[in-house]
Amino acid sequence: MLRPIRDEQGRIVDFLWLYENAAMARLNGTDSEAVVGRRLLETLPSHADSPFQQLYVEVAESGEPGVLEAPFKAETMTQEKWFRLAVVPIGQDIAVLAQDTTERKNAEAALRQSEERLRLTYKAAKIGAFDSNLLTDVDIWTPELEALHGLAPGELHPKNFEWEKLVHPDDHEAIMQWVDRSCSTGEPVPGEWRVVWPNGSVHWLSGTFQGFRDESGSPARIIGIAMDITERKRMEEALRQSESSFRDLANSMPQIVWTSHPDGHVDYFNSTWFELTHVEAPAAGIINWLPAVHPDDAERVKNLRIESLASGRPFYAEVRLITRSGEARWHVARAVPVKDEQGRVIRWYGTATDIHELKQAQETLAQLKANLESKNKEMESIIGIVSHDLRAPLVNIQGFSHEIQMDCRVLDEALSKVSIAEDLERQMEKILRRKIPESLHYIQASSDAMNHLVRTLVEVSRAGLAPTKPEVIDMNELIHGVLESIKIKFKEADVEYDIIALPDCFADRTQITQVFTNLLDNAVKYLDPFRRGQICVEGTLQAGGVLYWVSDNGIGIPPEQLDKIFEPYYQLKEKASGGIGMGLATVKKLVERNEGKIWVVSEKGQYSIFYVALPAEPSQTRKS
């Protein structure tokens, strides 16, 4: 109890303690006996500027009771607290009833903070919430939930379940069943449904309903949340369409197509697999492919697959698959991984292509190659035998011719020392000095020609049989070496020659040396005797290899003979060289043996240019 203290003008300047019970003393932190009879502001100076002091004055002056809740910290308190004061006038005095509301105010503040965090969370996540009172038909929606239905804040009518009208007609029955189930069980029920916005667009929502009952057990309240999943639904539909298109495409392919999990378990084969193999399609889940693999290949292919899965590298294997008819057909199986941004494998895509006919062709080719190599060895042996057997008589003929020649000289010398009849001397002189030498000359020339023919035939035959040993060739070095070997011919013919920087090629050094030796030798052989000879060797890189050309200003080649000069035994009619016409035929074989081409461009009486195209690096055929 407090009594007002007034100044001379009658204004209240303080209050006098009349009574303080124990509870009030605990709140104020004072001693009840010590404060009674003393001034309020003397015992609690902090009241001077507090809203409570003002309330005391207003009640004392007006005679009307007042209530106030505010924070306050007296000198006797360690921290600020909340108090709720009810002040009642009693005559000229006032009675003050006080209650400490600090805990309640703190709880309210914490609740407000929690609600604010929840509101901000809903707003950031675009999650809407609702609270429907089934007894009053009043719906409370958050602005976020209204936005999810295409409504502005406050646009939803709060009564009579107006939200039902926004549900897509095809989903209305399902959503009402979820509501009834939640109200019946008291358990939360999740679901996905469509809503129709005022502009007619359709949107997907995902949410949860939670029903509550009143004390009588009747449904009384439903709360829930919802969020927009329209984009997710669009992506799911796009994914379904993509998967459908993929399966349609895969099923239209003659190859086997399959997919698997990151751990290698196959979850899809196209129809080609099931049409080919005896493995039946499961209703769902993992497909065991090993039973379709030939037993002799199963362990090898399994280990290759394990290695590929462990390393994340593409998978490759040639494997025999057992068909429904029991035939084992060769297939080449490939698989590539699909990885996420962190480089982790998330999917495998694979194919298996039938290569059975190719395998059979490769086996046949390998057998043919082996047979051909065997035949080549036999042919080389035959060529050697023929060469020996043909040359042996020639050597004898040449040897005996020489012996006859020597014997004729001895006989001629012996006859010159004896006297014989003049007629006999003339007859012997004719035989020994003219007929026999002339015959021996024809025999020697014929045997030389035959020997040259045999040697040329052997070279031509071996050009087509000899294995090539390709390597990178420094053509500048090779051509200089060729010129050095035939420089005496160039000197005798007084030829000017030039070599323009040549690129390297990839071929058999010995065979290419023989090619350019022949071409340069022919260039000298077929020069025009009426002008000084000029020969040039040039080259350049081109797509797929290297191109060289040997040019001269010789007699040229008539147009009608251009297509024939690479034929065996063909010689230019204009200037037969004394050979048998096998040089360019051999050159052509050697160039082709090195995966090259040769051709000529010429104008009679002006020039000839022989072009030679060769590989610049190993071809795919040679690599394999």
What does pLDDT average to in each consecutive run of 10 residues of the chain (624 residues)? 92 92 88 90 88 92 93 84 92 92 85 72 73 76 85 74 82 88 88 92 92 83 87 88 82 88 90 88 78 93 93 94 93 94 92 92 88 69 60 70 78 76 77 78 68 60 66 94 88 90 93 93 90 94 92 91 81 56 83 93 93 86 52
Q: CA dist 521 to 57, 452, 456, 577, 593, Å?
A: 136, 17, 16, 11, 21
Place of tokens 């070496």: 481
Sign of CA dihedral 228, 230, 231, 233: positive
Name the residue among 571, 323, 569 with its Cα closest to residue 460: 569
> Within a 10 A sphere around the Cβ of 264, how many other Cβ atoms?
17
The tokens for 171 are 């989903």
Which amino acid, one-letter code, is at 167?
V
Q: In what order do the strands lie in the sheet with 545-552?
A: 496-499, 534-542, 545-552, 607-614, 597-603
Q: What angle do CA 460, 466, 468 make, to 5 degrees?
A: 125
> Within a 10 A sphere around the Cβ of 409, how many other Cβ atoms?
13
Cα dihedral 416/421/425/428 (nearest 10): -110
Bridging pattern class, strands 496-499 and 470-473:
unpaired
End-to-end CA gap in the chain: 113
Query: Exposed (0-12), middle (13-18) or buried (19+): which is 582, by Cβ within 10 Å?
Result: buried
pLDDT, position 538: 95
Assign 3-state DSSP to the chain and report helix, strand, coil percentages, each to 5.
Answer: 45, 25, 25
Burial 134-147 (b: 16+ CB within 10 A, else e): beeeebebbbbbbb
Half-sphere exposure of 175 (CA within 13 A, CB side): 23
In the chain, what's the furthest Cα-to-Cα distance?
202
Name the residue among 528, 526, 524 with its Cα closest to residue 537: 524
pLDDT, position 512: 93
> Within a 10 A sphere around the Cβ of 555, how many other Cβ atoms?
21
H/E stretch holding 141: strand 138-141
One DSSP character per residue, 474-510 reads: -HHHHHHHHHHHTHHHHHHHT-EEEE-----EEEEHH
3-state secondary structure of 131: strand
Query: Exposed (0-12), middle (13-18) or buried (19+): which is 114, by Cβ within 10 Å?
Result: exposed
pLDDT, position 161: 59
> Within a 10 A sphere around the Cβ of 54, how many other Cβ atoms?
13
DSSP state of 559: G
pLDDT, position 18: 93
Would you say the pTM of this structure is higher than 0.95?
Answer: no
Rounded distance, CA 214 to CA 212, Å? 7
Bridge partners (DSSP) listed for residue 162? none
